[in-house]
Structure 1
């Protein structure tokens, strides 16, 4: 995380040194997202994942809150603006990034239905099947599953709220529906976990139910933050479009027949 934070700060510094501007809020969002990952993946929280509520706290930080903050930090936009554009080997990273952004694979992965299945399906597969118990027996599986869930969370947040470019950005209506579906899936899962004391083998019933409650209320809070970020982004874009349209209309009025154009 420290390396990623350093790379982000250096990219921002390079952009600013060229005369470009970069919102401070995006930098703080990047640092906040990396801090969430650091808290989740280092002691003392990382040492207490055998305690199910601590596992849920780790899940909320790595799969929901950190991806939200990282998406708001617009890392792809920063990379595109700070990497060299010149032809040759120095410009290769930027070309590769652009090729990936236009790749068929990313177009499929950013389809709302695929994002919903990856996000919600991963959670149901982890907590309602024996997969959760297998994580404690195989370290490689633990890393693989949690990496997949983190990337799924990043994909969801990137699609919903990120200002970064993507192959095809769904309309606000589609994104709101996607958020409602995902939030509903989170809530139903938390209720199932509480009612049936799942996942099996996660600890005493009281601990499992407490973890389910944390997932329910913590997940709701982060879903609300996603909704606020989504609607705030829509409001800003609509405001810019409206101001542009008003300036255009004013310009047409000034140059219309019968009016005196400014000298």
Structure 2
């Protein structure tokens, strides 16, 4: 895909992987719509910084992507600006740590709606333009726990496992339209989500990772760009990006 004059939407772009991906794509020349739910002020400042630094259009869009109606409104806002999405990066996600028996149905629904239903919603509204153009890229940010499952993270693991199979199935559906759908199943990334570990826990976890460290968000962002610009025959893949952990 020719990156010039292409537009990308990144969900969860105010921090972590999404923020790093925004800089990576801005540097590569993509127009950007950057989504967040609550950090609107900081994301607006970041979008302005990217615009001034890389001379590309960066538009912040506030939306709770766990709410299908809000996603529909976000895509209408994009359409009203006379633009459409050529590259969709479904990055936004939340975790929940605890015993399943102690989890409420509201907590379960929040994880599933944020991590999995949001991917459905964003894809649903991005796909028509891609099909019309006979090209498009969808990158889903998943987790290694969606491959193997994690104790005390059942809802998170289930949501990411759903993302992985969603990716494989949708790739088959869209391949005839020259639209590629791939996922990155991340290992332990040095983001806000993993800031819950104290120094001892972090050191213990690093010792379990063959690479001996957490990955930086910028490394995932680099992988995202490589997938976007990969040959069109690469589709339906869930690439485990975990430093050899699994």
Same topology, TM > 0.5: no
Tell me the TM-score normalized by structure 2: 0.33
Tell me which protein shows more helix as a share of its residues. Answer: 1
Query: Which has more radius of gyration?
Result: 1
